[in-house]
Amino acid sequence: MRGRQRVSSREYITAYDRGETSVRLLNGKPSWRKSLRHVLVASISSFLFGYHLGVVNETLESISLDLGFSGNTMAEGLVVSTCLGGAFAGSLFSGWIADGVGRRRAFQLCALPMIIGASMSATAKSLWGMLLGRLFVGTGMGLGPPVTALYVTEVSPPTVRGTFGSSTQIATCLGIIGSLFVGFPAKEIVGWWRICFWVSAIPAAILALAMEFCAESPHWLFKIGRRTEAEAEFEKLLGGVHVKPAIAELSNDRGDESDTIKLSESLYSRHFKVMFIGCTLFALQQLSGINAVFYFSSTIFKSFDVPSNLANTLVGICNLVGSILAMILMDKLGRKVLLLGSFMGMAVSLGLQVIAASSFASEYGAMYLSVGGILMFVMSFALGAGPVPGLLLSEILPSAVRAKAMAICMAVHWVMNFFVGLLFLRLLEQIGAQLLYTIFASFCVVAVIFVKNNVVETKGKSLQEIEMAHLPQEAT
């Protein structure tokens, strides 16, 4: 992109306020229908993400019995968390892969280890075989979410970007629910857990194949100098009348910076704040304890003699309902409002868990408080803390380092996720539910304060407007 005229951030914002660069508004809003099918294919990655998060919930007991580590909570924790270790590695390199081969090829590379890992898990004869399969699956899980967030953000019209971003969370919910329903016969049918892993290879193969027919991100094509192809992709996604305004908007984006900027710059100077917001949001998301519920809800409900089939179905329904509400409200209320309401609801829900674990609650009272608190917690999470961080970060990160910086933020997510999955059962044994849920609730309160003071609103704005408005201005 060398040779393009550089336009300062201040000049661009002033021009936009005068209406000089808002040609796209004269042509009306781009239709969401053209980009919908591309978003739906990308959402298969989120479905797989949810499926592999939930697949061990109903099957963990059967797996431990068949592979000979029943009763070993550390081994059970490793089956859950090993894929998270692989996800850390996958997410760490996701930015380089997405920038190197493009978003579409990155999706296909995400599907490959999921197919291999699912096959290895399904045929495992020992704990180590299972762990190796989960490690491969995790690599694909780590690569998928940041690439999905990037792709959906970059192919969606600004007016529906929040809605489309929330659709990936719905796909995650459907994946979790799907894994629960597929896993229901695992306790009655010997070896059924192997079928549960084989099933996951089907959507992974569909993702790899369907991506061949999807549009590439025009933002990525423009960034690497393939302007003509970027125009063709914009026509597929937005319609011909919106191509020139979209390209003109990209042309006003930070001049030649994308040719010279280094990833190390995202860790200091004017890029530091958005990186700090991203890493902190993902850390607080995981420290709320949400994935402990998804991984071990069967164990929690079992302590109250609640049938796991019923309990996990309710968890999945609450997650899905909350995600649908988030999709409806994302472009109406905005990202910040949903985040604040979500974390506040989670804090209250965990307060109910603390009361349920105390000596003040009767046996039946504890059961209703605990089960009701978990369901409220899941729905609150799905309203904001689940779908917003990935979408928000892909919006506010500067285009020059968006993919690589997203990879670093997601790596923080997976590190926290790994330790929550590994240590939850052990901490539940050692310090008790009351103190553990108090710690989770405290992180939710910290998240409310952090969001209120640091998160900016992005609804309805183009990526270029967001970058120009929220990055500190360069000295002139």
pLDDT in tens, 192-250: 999 999 999 999 999 999 999 999 999 889 888 888 898 888 888 888 787 888 787 77
DSSP 463: H
Q: Nearest-5° angle of CA 54, CA 388, CA 113?
A: 40
Kindly report whether the global pTM for this prediction surpasses the value 0.85: no
pLDDT of residue 308: 66
Q: How far apart are CA 249 and CA 72, in angstroms?
A: 57
pLDDT of residue 476: 39
Model confidence band, residue 264 (pLDDT cutoffs 50, 70, 90):
low
pLDDT in tens, 61-81: 889 889 988 878 788 878 877
pLDDT in tens, 305-347: 777 677 777 888 888 899 899 988 888 888 899 999 999 999 9
- Tell how far CA 435 is from the center of its chain: 28
Q: How far apart are CA 465 and CA 476, in angstroms?
A: 20
Q: Is the pLDDT of residue 255 over 50?
A: no
Percentage of the chain modeled with pLDDT above 90 = 26
* Tally of CB atoms within 10 A around 137: 31
Model confidence band, residue 296 (pLDDT cutoffs 50, 70, 90):
low
Q: Is the pLDDT of residue 157 over 80?
A: yes
Query: Which segments of 261-307 does DSSP mark as H helices, in order?
Result: 272-287, 290-302
Q: Is the separation of the CB atoms in 45 and 107 below 8 Å?
A: yes
Model confidence band, residue 472 (pLDDT cutoffs 50, 70, 90):
low
> What structural domains and CATH numbers belong to the chain?
32-214+253-465 (1.20.1250.20), 217-252 (1.10.286)
Q: Is the pLDDT of residue 39 over 60?
A: yes
Q: How far apart are CA 29 and CA 8, in angstroms?
A: 26
Cβ burial of 449 (10 Å; 0-12, 13-18, 19+) is exposed
Q: Is the separation of the CB atoms in 440 and 288 below 8 Å?
A: yes
Percentage of the chain modeled with pLDDT above 70 = 82
Q: How far apart are CA 167 and CA 169, in angstroms?
A: 5
Model confidence band, residue 359 (pLDDT cutoffs 50, 70, 90):
low
Q: How far apart are CA 44 and CA 52, in angstroms?
A: 12
pLDDT in tens, 200-215: 999 999 999 999 999 9
Please identify which residue in the block is written with the tokens 């009763």. Answer: 71
Q: How far apart are CA 43 and CA 175, in angstroms?
A: 10
pLDDT in tens, 86-126: 888 888 888 889 888 999 999 999 999 999 999 999 999 99
Cβ-based neighbours of 208, under 8 Å, separated by 6 or more: 107, 108, 111, 112, 115
Q: Is the pLDDT of residue 24 over 50?
A: no
pLDDT of residue 284: 93
| Bigger pLDDT: 370 vs 167 | 167
Q: How far apart are CA 186 and CA 193, in angstroms?
A: 6
Task: Please name which of 235, 269, 468, 451 lies closest in space to residue 344, comparing C-alpha atoms.
Answer: 451
Please identify which residue in the block is written with the tokens 């059967």. Answer: 62
pLDDT in tens, 401-450: 777 788 888 888 888 877 876 777 778 778 877 888 889 999 999 999 99
Half-sphere exposure of 284 (CA within 13 A, CB side): 30
Q: How far apart are CA 209 and CA 200, in angstroms?
A: 15
Written as one string, the DSSP assignment of 184-248 is: GGGGTSTTHHHHHHHHTHHHHHHHHHHGGGSPPPHHHHHHTT-HHHHHHHHHHHH-GGGHHHHHH
Cβ burial of 51 (10 Å; 0-12, 13-18, 19+) is buried
CA distances for 124 relative to 28, 127, 189, 425, angstroms: 56, 8, 17, 24
* Tally of CB atoms within 10 A around 125: 10
Please give the average per-residue pLDDT across 357-381, as a whole number: 78
Task: Please name which of 351, 355, 411, 409 lies closest in space to residue 380, comparing C-alpha atoms.
Answer: 351
In the structure encoding, which two tokens stand for residue 455, read together? 């998160």
For the chain, the maximum distance between any two Cα atoms, rounded to a whole number of angstroms, is 73
